[in-house]
Structures are given as structure tokens and as C-alpha cells.
Amino acid sequence: MPIIHVKLRSGEQRTIDARANQSVMEALRDNGVSEIEAMCGGCCSCATCHVFVDAAFTDRTPPITETESELLSMSDHRRDTSRLSCQIPLTADLDGLVVEVAPLD
């Protein structure tokens, strides 16, 4: 089971036990991180699951797609490490992943 360390908007930090083969968004949502709205259910069409991925993990995530990049471009809070958590599948390589929930737009 991969572990995810998440920093909430309040500054609170939580550690989540996730299942492999689910997205980071699903793991956060299923473990009560209500700041991840995921209004589209993970279809990469709303950007309500925006997170910042710790730089130590960015090379372990799949490349950002054009659609994901377009959605993130609408955020005032986009960073180089911004990703939609619905587009990051959990694998063994991501055990210990560190993310921060992005501020609301």
C-alpha cells in the first residue's frame, strides 16, 4: 500500500494509506480529504483536484498531458509542480508521495 503525505490548506499534514492502482485524487477523496472536490470524478475536466507535487517526486509521475496543462493554466496558483491529482496513478514508485492541496481559485 502506497503512503501519501498531504498538506491541507489549513497547514495540517496528514498521512494516508492508499491502494495501488487508484489515482492520487481517489486516495485523497476516499480518505476524507474534503478539500479535493473532484467534481468531474476524475475525468480531467474540472481542475478541482489541483495539488502541488513535491519536487522529489515529479520525475516519478507521468508527463502532464495537454488537457491537464490547459486546465491548470486557468489557475492563479499554478506552479511548476502543479498537477491534477486525478491524473497521477499510484504506483510503488510513488510510495511516500508528498503533495500539497492547492488554494482555491
Per-residue pLDDT at 1 exceeds 90: no
Categorize the per-residue pLDDT at 76 as very low, low, confident or very high, splitting at 50, 70 and 90.
very high
H, E, C per residue of 8-61: CCCCCEEEEECCCCCEHHHHHHHCCCCCCCCCCCCCCCCCCCEEEECHHHHHHC
Radius of gyration of the chain (CA): 12
Categorize the per-residue pLDDT at 4 as very low, low, confident or very high, splitting at 50, 70 and 90.
very high
Tell me what pLDDT residue 3 has: 96
Strand, helix or coil for residue 63: coil
Per-residue pLDDT at 13 exceeds 90: yes
Domains and CATH numbers, the chain: 3-101 (3.10.20.30)
Q: What mean pLDDT comes out for the span 53-62?
A: 97
Model pTM score: 0.95
